[in-house]
Amino acid sequence: MSVDCHIDLETRSAVDLRKTGVHVYAEDPTTDVWCACYAFDDGPIKTWMPGEPCPTEIVAHVLKGGRFWAHNAAFERTLWASVLHLRYGWPLPAPEQWDCTMARAYCMALPGSLDSASAALGINEAKDPAGYRTMLRMSKPRRYEEDGSPVWWDDPPRVAQLVAYCGQDVVVERALHARLMDLRPLERLIWLLDQKINDRGVYVDRALCEAAKPIIRDTLLKLNAEMRSVSKGFIPSCDAVAKIVEFCQHRGVDADSIRRDEVAELLSQELPSDVRRVLELRAEAGKAAVKKIDALLLGCSKDGRAKGLLAYHGASTGRWSARRFQPQNLKRPKDKSQESLIPIVMTGSASAVELLAGPPLEVVGDVIRGMITAAPGAMLFAADFASIESRVLAWLAGEQWKVKAFEEFDRGGGADMYRQTYARAFGVSVNSVNGDQRTIGKVLDLSLGFQGGQRALQSMAKIYGIEIEDDRADELKTAWRDAHQNIKQFWYDVEDAALRAVGNPGKTKHCDKLAFKTAGSFLFMRLPSGRAITYPYPKLKEIKTPWGSTKLSLTYKSVISPANTKRIVKDDLNSSNWARISTYGGSLVENATQAVARDVMAEAMLRVDAAGYPPVLTIHDEVVSERAGGSVAEFEDLMVQPPAWAGGLPIAAEAWSGPRYRK
């Protein structure tokens, strides 16, 4: 029988972990370990303190290849390598010896923090609030000596309280581990690859980053000065959100907030000239990328690479999300001639950029992707899956005309899908579809595939600069649904299968390539790959629809995000970040589609890594690798190989290679 070691470290440093990430934090000379608490299986909690030898049982466990568990294991693993191993002589476990309860909690759609995850599962053990406050204090210097040396909170009572807090964290993590599901073998390989990617990081062009900072600074100073002038001193700066809203309201403009989309909407209206200029200044200043640049620089390790930028299973579908630099939401460049803009930005002069290239903040935003580069002697290889969600949706729903259209297009023999979508929806020849109609076809596909209606269509159309009246939007929606009868039926079939699975616990309810089953406190949606999406604490409830009627709906507990706040079930007991939400067929189909697309990409990442193209980043449906040598054709071929479970799914990708990351 295998033995597991559960371990937790408490540390201190002059470095801000939240700003730098664990890799920079771990390698800083001021970083040290206060204590390590550990336990083997259900055994007693034990403590190691600096100055003591590494416990013999830890040494033996490392040498025999035993498993180590931690919550957010990347932290313990990295601090072990940089501090416990190099400074205190602990033997170093192999990466494969680590496992992570936070990763498993994410895979079960639970909150990520230790206390929230354990509370969500109803675990009686809990973190110590007083100890938590002590930990926060002791993790940072008490003060600094005149020579800059940090002085720590090292009085014995506080140290004792911290050790007790650390030991309780092991107790809670161990209890959580007992309630979490194992990762499937393939999924564990994906998690291990994620750890390698985060350890590897991306190489950063520090010189370009530093050159961009004064451009941003000088431009913001200029914009802020004009903001004060236009508002006659009422608005101190472009980021004074409350003052901007108040100014607009004083001038008779109905503005509740100034989010980017709302500013664009207001600017399309008739406005007083001073309000218009205030909003234009706000919109221009909002393009500043200084936070992203600072995040890249602060996260750079001594080897010039920014690490720990990806969050494994950051979305409940399994897709990655981002940390600090947020590579998932980089600005789409207006000017794609990045190489011509970079020498201009390298001047560090806002006036030179404005004279030679255009608005400085926009130009800096256009080159921010290029701040990620290949290391000297290597190249970046990247490939983005083409229309992967549209392809997966058609495949899952059995919309065969669309699957075959993608296959024909991939062979070079058919029109692109957006032209075909428009032609099929309106019964016209594909060859007769013009550019504007193709754009409408694109808007239809992007907005309606997951049971989106008139408003979803109109919102998506605005992104492409198209205004659609209500009657026309309804006509377009109906035409698209008529052309996609199988997808339309799939929404209802998936919802019905989920409802029947919740109503009949323990019984598997199939829906084409998907299957649903309620077991214990979870509803599971099994995907074609064999992986499952989980819906915690499912219940069937009568929910009021947007049309005023009620319907029996699936509800479940979820981490709250901006995307699901409108679906919170108000009459259920909720916490600030964990609440019951309702769902419907289209949303379940969207979950399945995005999860399948993720599984396709994750297996591609394993393939390219095994073939010598080590991934350094993944952004949406794109994989970025770095190596010396290699070929674009080989990389693309590795990316598009279908998984064994995805027979009949048309997969296509377009690869490129170059010294800098680009769109």
pLDDT at residue 151, as a whole number: 96
| Final residue before a domain boundary, out of 147, 182, 217 | 182
Band (553; pLDDT cuts 50, 70, 90): very high
DSSP state of 300: B
Instruction: Mark out the alpha helices in 43-100 (DSSP H runs).
Output: 56-63, 73-79
Q: Is the pLDDT of residue 86 over 90?
A: yes
Angle at CA of residue 180, ends 175 and 182, nearest 5°: 130
Q: Residue 556, SS3?
A: strand
State which H helix or E strand residue 342 sits in.
helix 338-345
C-alpha closest to that of 605 among 283, 234, 198, 277: 198
Give the mean pLDDT of 449-472. Answer: 88
- CATH code at 85? 3.30.420
DSSP state of 465: T
Tell whether 149 is covered by a domain.
Answer: yes
| Final residue before a domain boundary, out of 182, 210, 232 | 182
Q: Is the pLDDT of residue 328 over 80?
A: no
* The residue to which tokens 């499912």 are assigned: 538
Domain count across the chain: 2
pLDDT tens-place string over residues 469-497? 999 889 989 999 999 999 999 999 999 99
| Final residue before a domain boundary, out of 149, 182, 215 | 182
pLDDT tens-place string over residues 577-612? 899 999 999 999 999 999 999 999 999 999 999 999
What φ, ψ does residue 477 adopt, rounded to 5°?
-60, -50
Tell whether 170 is covered by a domain.
Answer: yes
d(CA 120, CA 573): 12
The dihedral sign for the CA sequence 610, 616, 618, 624: negative
Q: Which long-range CB contacts under 8 A does 536-541 form with residues at least 24 apart?
A: 536/108, 536/109, 536/110, 536/120, 537/580, 538/502, 539/502, 539/580, 540/499, 540/502, 540/503, 541/569, 541/582
What φ, ψ does residue 480 adopt, rounded to 5°?
-65, -45
pLDDT tens-place string over residues 606-660? 999 999 999 999 998 999 999 999 999 999 999 999 999 999 999 999 999 999 9
Q: Is the pLDDT of residue 327 over 90?
A: no
d(CA 597, CA 10): 38
Between helix 435-448 and helix 417-426 the angle, nearest 10°, is 90
C-alpha closest to that of 339 among 660, 608, 607, 27: 660
Tell whether 16 is covered by a domain.
Answer: yes
Of 193-197, 246-250, 412-416, where does mean pLDDT reach its minimum?
412-416
pLDDT at residue 415, as a whole number: 83
pLDDT at residue 566, as a whole number: 82
Q: Is the pLDDT of residue 263 over 90?
A: no
pLDDT tens-place string over residues 117-167? 999 999 988 888 889 999 999 999 999 999 999 999 999 999 999 999 999
Break the chain down into helix, strand, coil percent, rounded to 5.
Answer: 50, 15, 35
pLDDT at residue 198, as a whole number: 97
d(CA 538, CA 533): 13
Tell whether 214 is covered by a domain.
Answer: no
Residue 612 near residue 630 (C-beta atoms within 8 A): yes
C-alpha closest to that of 198 among 113, 299, 289: 299
pLDDT at residue 571, as a whole number: 67
Residue 112 near residue 578 (C-beta atoms within 8 A): no
pLDDT tens-place string over residues 48-61? 999 999 999 999 99
pTM of the model: 0.93
List the domain range (segments joined by +) for residue 463. Answer: 400-483
The amino acid at 396: L
pLDDT tens-place string over residues 13-27? 999 999 999 999 999
Between helix 454-463 and helix 470-483 the angle, nearest 10°, is 100
pLDDT at residue 50, as a whole number: 97
Tell whether 641 is covered by a domain.
Answer: no
Both tokens assigned to 91: 């033997």
Tell whether 83 is covered by a domain.
Answer: yes
Tell whether 24 is covered by a domain.
Answer: yes
Q: Is the pLDDT of residue 575 over 80?
A: no
Beta bridge partners of 35: 10
Tell whether 15 is covered by a domain.
Answer: yes
Q: Residue 313, SS3?
A: coil
What secondary structure does DSSP assign to 353-418, as a single string?
HHHHTS-HHHHHHHHGGGGEEPPTT-EEEEEEETTHHHHHHHHHHT-HHHHHHHHHHHTT-S--HH
Average pLDDT, the chain: 93
pLDDT tens-place string over residues 175-211? 999 999 999 999 999 999 999 999 999 999 999 999 9
Give me the half-sphere count of Cα atoms (radius 13 Å) on the Cβ side of residue 69: 26
Q: Which residue has the higher pLDDT, 86 or 425?
A: 86
The amino acid at 494: V
Both tokens assigned to 173: 């993590």
Q: Is the pLDDT of residue 71 over 80?
A: yes
